[in-house]
Amino acid sequence: MALTSEQIVYAALDAWVSLPIFEAVKKFPEAGSRIISKNCVPGVFVDLKPRGLKHVIASGRIEQPENSSSAEKNSCRLRGLKVNLPGYMVKQNNGIALPAIERRDVLTLVLLRSFTEPEFLITVFKANLMTATNSEVHNTHSER
């Protein structure tokens, strides 16, 4: 049984529309993977979890960078939506989030809890981010 011309057009349109959707979804990393340059896509939900730490420090989503300077090459802007470890230290000037133990100039560090909640913007190293799902970021009883 041959397809009608309307069925052929419908099938072609279906395939044509599916390709850009597939390409867009392919850009988003799989949940639970580390952020790298290629998958630092604005809108992706992430956990701030530096290597070697057992718990998620904060959760949120990647934001569009203010500019694309070389300093932004290894970092992402994170819109924090939930803080799990309010005692984690970050640079006071809203710069790169670092564990206090890695810094000698402790005077420039402030507690993560000092940022306005429920949402705040900080810049973090990409290597300290892991992808998450929307429900994981908004789940208050997470054991991740």
The DSSP element (H or E) to which 120 belongs, if any, is: strand 120-125
Over the stretch 84-95, which tens digit does the pLDDT of each residue have?
A: 888 887 766 555
Within-domain flag for 88: yes
Within-domain flag for 23: no
Residue type, 36: I
Q: Could you tell me the CA-to-CA distances from 22 to 18, 28, 39, 140, 143 in Å, in that order? A: 6, 10, 15, 32, 32
pLDDT of residue 68: 59
Q: How confident is the model at residue 72 (pLDDT cuts 50, 70, 90)?
A: low
pLDDT of residue 138: 65
Within-domain flag for 11: no
Has residue 13 got a pLDDT over 90?
yes
How many domains does the chain divide into?
1
Q: How confident is the model at residue 106 (pLDDT cuts 50, 70, 90)?
A: very low
Closest CA relative to residue 143, chosen from 52, 60, 50, 55: 55
Within-domain flag for 56: yes
Within-domain flag for 21: no
Distance CA 42, CA 8 (A): 37
Over the stretch 30-49, which tens digit does the pLDDT of each residue have?
A: 777 777 766 677 888 899 98
Q: How confident is the model at residue 67 (pLDDT cuts 50, 70, 90)?
A: low
Has residue 70 got a pLDDT over 60?
no
The model carries a pTM of 0.64
Within-domain flag for 9: no
pLDDT of residue 144: 43
Has residue 101 got a pLDDT over 50?
no
Within-domain flag for 122: yes
Look up the domain containing 67 and give its range.
Answer: 30-138
